[in-house]
Amino acid sequence: MVAVASAVAAVAAVAGTVMVLGDGGDGRDAERAGTAVSRAGRLYLHPESQVRDWVRANPGDGRRAVIESRIAARPAAVWFAEYAPETITSRVRAVTSGAAAQDRVPVLVPYAIPDRDCGGASQGGAPDVGAYGDWIERFAAGLGSGEVVVILEPDSIAQTDCLSEDRRADRFAALAHAGRVLKAANPRARVYYDAGHSHWHAPARQAALLKQAGAASSASAGIFSNVSNFRTTADEIAYDRQVLAALGGPAGLGAVVDTSRNGNGPPADGQWCDPDGRRIGRAPTLDTGEAHIDAYLWVKLPGESDGCKGAAGTFSPAYAYELAR
């Protein structure tokens, strides 16, 4: 994946939950994240993830307490990256029903768009747009009727330069269809579209791409940014507001920011693949106190590699400890 991209690493079909402590790049101490954590009480902590598996399997590891309290104990997105149409409905339903039983809000990431990651470390997805349409309909069938946040296909809009004109048009049509299907299946679903991040495309260009993918339609809740990246929360807020202003669309469109690894901001050299010296960012919450910013979420699972500190999508306790301590 090119250096400007979000560096999403493919994850297991249901890659569980993780979360945040830290400051989101504004200099506040990690301990002050507790207030935001309490406001995140409605976010769902899924019981299955690579980090939680590691914590259970390593009771004597000296890094365990830090990783458990600062990552494994906190809610994060559940990714669906495996193209397996026959099981996707039941896997989604398992998460949404678990969240509903606790009156919590799950964050789901469908990640199976054809030509995913332009053949990079996270390549894969459905074989073609027709197959993807069927997959997303099966995905939607598992959403249930409760409130749910859907982070629709990270990198799928910002990273389209690798596609031919025809394939780009197919991609945008598939995403627009996905938004309609998800919203029709569950009117309480909040579907957010890929806006890249603040050091990728200019806001007007990103808004133009988003419009082609249906992000200004009634099926859209708005946009998301900074997935798997390290840009500061302040930079993302400013950028997202500019994108939303250029996007237009229904009143009430908002943005969510991935704060999972942006506690120290981006590395000076622009490295996106498991860079050293980063840390977890501001805690996930549905109450940001910022106009047009709907949530801070942990979309990327802290400790899961981009492909440099381990195979893409695999959990690295050394990396998790570095981020959390």
Instruction: Name the residues annotated as catalytic.
Output: 117, 155, 306
**At a CB cut-off of 8 Å and minimum separation 6, what does 218 contact?**
183, 250
**CA 291 to each of CA 109, 188, 190, 284, 295: distance values in angstroms, whole numbers, following the listed order:** 24, 21, 17, 17, 11
What is the C-alpha to C-alpha distance for residues 246 and 240, in angstroms, rounded to an integer?
A: 10
What is the C-alpha to C-alpha distance for residues 276 and 322, in angstroms, rounded to an integer?
A: 8
Q: Which stretches within the chain are classed as H helix?
A: 34-39, 50-57, 64-67, 85-101, 129-140, 165-185, 203-212, 233-247, 317-324
What is the C-alpha to C-alpha distance for residues 303 and 317, in angstroms, rounded to an integer?
A: 6
**At a CB cut-off of 8 Å and minimum separation 6, what does 178 contact?**
110, 132, 133, 136, 152, 153, 191
Six-digit token pair at 1? 């994946």
Query: Hey, is 155 helix, strand or coil?
Result: coil
Closest CA to 203 of 191, 195, 213, 194: 195
Sign for the pseudo-dihedral over CA of 40, 253, 90, 55: negative
CB 206 within 8 A of CB 255: no
Closest CA to 199 of 265, 279, 260: 265
